[in-house]
Structure 1
């Protein structure tokens, strides 16, 4: 198994999340892993957040709106 590092940005700071997988996680898998971490670390987030109707509603968009987190990279450790 390979260790992968998912880099993300929250509040202007870069942080990382390590995960084990046989394959490199794609962006959808990375968003799901970071969302699970955010729920554990920060609770349910801003549940009453205001959704921008001009933005497509994707898991990555919801992660950014709810927790202020954007994925910045995925690399092998």
Structure 2
């Protein structure tokens, strides 16, 4: 099964990587869910916006986190 690297940066300019295995390239919302587990120590479920097309992406953006890439790991 292919491995994928999801890179993201925070408001301090630091870049981090999360690796996952998936048959297909993860969608942005899937990537955001994986990142939230690592980047946000405690996620209050009431913080997740319900009126947004990509609620986990919006949650990360509220915390100053931006997904900068999804690429297949070599």
Q: TM-score, normalised by structure 1?
A: 0.71
Give SS of 1:19's match. Answer: strand
Q: Deviations over 1:11-64 (max 9, x none)?
A: 21111111111111010110011011224xxx226x6xxxxxxxx743212112
Alignment RMSD = 1.8
Distance in 2 separating the partners of 1:18 and 1:32? 13
Give the aligned partner of residue 7 of structure 1: 7
Kindly name which structure, 1 or 2, has the bigger radius of gyration based on alpha carbons: 1
Q: How many residues align?
A: 64
The list of structure 1 runs, each at least 4 consecutive aligned residues, that deviate by more than 3 angstroms after superposition, is none
Q: TM-score, normalised by structure 2?
A: 0.73
Give the aligned partner of residue 53 of structure 1: none
Give the aligned partner of residue 36 of structure 2: 35
For structure 1, list consecutive stretches of 5 or more residues without a partner in the other structure.
Answer: 48-55
For structure 2, list consecutive stretches of 5 or more residues without a partner in the other structure.
Answer: 45-50
Indicate the structure with greater strand content: 1
Aligned mate of 2:68, from 65, 72, 75: 72
